[in-house]
Amino acid sequence: MEYWADTGGTDHRLEQYRADFPARVRWSEVREEDPEAFRSAAQGALLVPAALLAVVAWTSVSFELPVAVMLPEWIDWARGFLTVVLFFAAFGLGVFAWSLLSMPSDSRRAIALRRFGERHGLGYQRLGVAPEPLGLLFAEGPTAGRARRPRRGADQGPPAASRFRAEFALTRGERFGGPALQIAVATYAGGKNDSKGARNAFRFLATRMPRTLPHLMIDSLRNGRLRTLLPGTQRISLEGDVDRHFAVYAPPGYERDALQLLTPDVLVCLLEYGRHWDIEVVEDRVVVASTRFRRRFDRTEVPALLRFSELIGAELGHQAATYTDPRAAAPRREVAVAGRRLRRRSGAWTAAIIAAVVAAMLAFPHVLGWVLDNT
C-alpha cells in the first residue's frame, strides 16, 4: 500500500492518474523516438576505458597504486601539477561518459512523462522554466523579501537569476513569471557564493494561489531537514495529529493568520496526502517538495503531486480568496512586511562556537605546557 493510501479511503481520481502513467516503455520505442540517444550511449561506452585509465594514472602518480610511477628528473618537479591534471581529467571523463550513457534512460523517462502529460493536458519539457528564487526551498537568501516588493508586471529591472534547474517538467497554464502549475525535478545550479537551499535536488510541485499570502513553512517531520534553518520561536501548534507529522512555522504575529488559512479541511488534505512532503507558501505560490525524485518514483510521485495540486488548490485556494491582512496598505492584495518572510536561524552563534573550539584546540598545548611548568 502506498503512503497516501494508508488512511483507509480510496481516492478513485488518484487511482486513475496512477493507472494512466505508463507502466513500462520498451527500449524499441525509445529507439524509434530518439535513435540519437543510443548513439550517444555508444560514445559514452567508448569513453569509459579512457576514464578508467585516467583514474589508474592518477592513483599511480599520487599514491603509487596499483603501480609506482617513477617520473624522469626533468618532469618530477611537476608531479603535483600532473596529479591535479590527472584528477580533473578522470573526473571530467567519468562525468561526460556517464551523461552519455544515461541518455537512453533519460529518453525513456521523458517518453513516459510526456505520455502521461498528454492524457491530462500537461505540456512536457526536458528543461522547464527555472523556478524563481523565492523562499527556503528555492534558496532565496536570508535577507530577501523584507523590503516592499513591487507588484508583478511593474518595472522591477532584470529578474533574479534562478539557482535551480527544472528538469523533466510537466506544466499547465501560463502566468506572468511562469506556468500556473509545474511538476519537475529541481537540481541546484547556483555558484559557490550563492544562497543554498535545504536540498540540492528534489521533486517539486509549484502552483499559484489567487493572491499573495504570508510566508508559511509546513515541514514534514519524516524529512527533518528544514528545522535547522528556522528558529523554533516561529513554530506554531495546530489541532489534531498535525504536530505529530509536521512542524508548522509562521512569521511572528501571523499565528492567527496561519490558523485562518490552514483550516481543518486543509489540514486533512495535508495529513492524508502530503505527510511525506515539505510544503511552503510564499507570496502567491505553494511549493511542495518531495525527496523521491529518482526515475523509479515517477509512476507514484507524479500522479500523487498532480492530485494534491487539485486538492490543495481547492481547499487552500478558497481560504486565500477570502484572506485579508489588515496590517498591509492594501489588505486585499498585499501582505505587510513582517509577514512576507520567515526569519532564518542566525549563523552567528554557530560561527562563534566553531571559532571558540578552534581557539581552544590551538591554545591547549600552550596552556598545558604552562600548567606543567608551574606545578
Q: What is the mean pLDDT of residues 13-21?
A: 94
pLDDT at 199: 87
pLDDT at 320: 93
Q: What is the mean pLDDT of residues 233-257?
A: 90
Q: What is the pLDDT of residues 277-286, one digit of tens each?
A: 999 999 999 9
Three-state SS across the chain?
A: CCHHHCCCCCCHHHHHHHHHCCCCCCHHHHHHHCHHHHHHHHHHHHHHHHHHHHHHHHHHHHHCCCCCCCCCHHHHCCHHHHHHHHHHHHHHHHHHHHHHHCHHHHHHHHHHHHHHHHHCCCEEEEECCCCCCCCCCCCCCCCCCCCCCCCCCCCCCCCCCCCEEEEEEEEEEEECCEEEEEEEEEEECCCCCCCCCCCCEEEEEEEEEEEEEEEEEEEECCCCCHHHCCCHHHEECCCCCHHHHEEEECCCCCHHHHHHHCCHHHHHHHHHHCCCCEEEEEEEEEEEEECCCCHHHHHHHHHHHHHHHHHHHHHHHHHHHHCCCCCCCCCCCCCCHHHHCCCCCCCHHHHHHHHHHHHHHHHHHHHHHHHHHCC
pLDDT band at 188 (very low <50, low <70, confident <90, very high): very high
Lowest mean pLDDT among 163-167, 212-216, 221-225, 345-349: 345-349
Percent of the chain with pLDDT over 90: 54
Percent of the chain with pLDDT over 70: 83
Lowest mean pLDDT among 38-47, 228-237, 249-258, 360-369: 360-369
Lowest mean pLDDT among 122-131, 192-201, 289-298: 192-201
Q: What is the pLDDT of residues 32-86, one digit of tens each?
A: 988 899 899 999 999 999 999 988 888 888 877 787 777 676 676 677 788 888 8
pLDDT at 155: 46
pLDDT band at 354 (very low <50, low <70, confident <90, very high): low
Reference 20, options 107, 143, 115, 148; nearest CA is 115
User: Is residue 184 within 8 Å of residue 167, measured between CB atoms?
Assistant: yes
pLDDT at 238: 86
pLDDT at 165: 93
Q: What is the pLDDT of residues 129-186, one digit of tens each?
A: 999 989 999 988 765 555 445 444 444 555 677 889 999 999 998 766 678 999 999 9
Q: What is the pLDDT of residues 287-336, one digit of tens each?
A: 999 999 999 999 999 999 999 999 999 999 999 999 999 999 999 999 99
pLDDT at 158: 54
Q: How high is the mean pLDDT of the chain?
A: 84
